[in-house]
Amino acid sequence: MRLALTPMANHWWQSPLYLTCRGLGTTPMYHGTVCVEMEFDFIDHRLRITVCDGRQTSVPLRPCSVARFYREVMDQLRELGLEVRIRTLPAELPDAIPFEQDERHASYDGDSARRFWLVLLQADRVLKRFRGGFLGKASPVHFFWGSFDLAVTRFSGRAAPPHPGGVPGLGDWVVREAYSHEVSSCGFWPGNGGFGRPAFYCYAYPEPPGFARATVAPAAAFYSEALREFVLPYDDMRRSPDPDAALMDFLASTYAAAADLGGWDRAALERPAQG
Q: Could you report the per-residue pLDDT of 46-96, keeping only the tens digit for each?
A: 999 999 999 999 999 999 999 999 999 999 999 999 999 999 999 888 889
The CA radius of gyration of the chain, in Å to the nearest whole number, is 20
- Cα(263)–Cα(16) distance, rounded to whole angstroms? 30
Q: Are residues 13 and 129 in the same domain?
A: no
- Give CA separation, 13 vs 56, 121, 127, 194, in Å: 26, 20, 17, 23
Of the residues 91, 108, 125, which one is the last residue of a structural domain?
A: 108
Q: Residue 47 domain-assigned? A: yes
Cβ atoms within 10 Å, residue 119:
15
pLDDT less than 50: residues of the chain: 275
Q: Are residues 244 and 221 in the same domain?
A: yes
Q: For the chain, first and last CA: distance in Å?
A: 45
Directed axis angle between helix 243-261 and helix 110-131, to 10°? 50
Q: Residue 275 domain-assigned? A: no
3-state secondary structure of 180: coil
Q: Are residues 165 and 238 in the same domain?
A: yes
Q: Are residues 78 and 21 in the same domain?
A: yes
Q: Are residues 48 and 183 in the same domain?
A: no
Of the residues 108, 127, 149, which one is the last residue of a structural domain?
A: 108
Q: Are residues 43 and 127 in the same domain?
A: no
Q: Residue 264 domain-assigned? A: yes
Q: Are residues 130 and 50 in the same domain?
A: no
Q: Are residues 121 and 79 in the same domain?
A: no
Domain count, the chain: 2
- Give CA separation, 233 vs 75, 195, 202, 204, 230, in Å: 41, 9, 12, 19, 10
Q: Residue 94 domain-assigned? A: yes
Question: Phi then psi for 7, rounded to 5 degrees?
Answer: -60, 150
Compute the C-alpha angle 115/72/90, nearest 5°.
65
Q: Residue 254 domain-assigned? A: yes
Q: Are residues 64 and 145 in the same domain?
A: no
Q: Residue 274 domain-assigned? A: no
Distance of alpha carbon 55 from the chain centroid? 29
Per-residue pLDDT, 193: 86
Contact, 214 vs 222, CB < 8 A?
A: no
Q: Are residues 96 and 162 in the same domain?
A: no
Per-residue pLDDT, 274: 61
Q: Are residues 124 and 240 in the same domain?
A: yes
Q: Are residues 149 and 68 in the same domain?
A: no
Q: Residue 30 domain-assigned? A: yes
Question: Phi then psi for 177, rounded to 5 degrees?
Answer: -70, -40
pTM: 0.95
Of the residues 81, 108, 135, which one is the last residue of a structural domain?
A: 108
Q: Residue 82 domain-assigned? A: yes
Q: Which domain holds residue 66?
A: 2-108
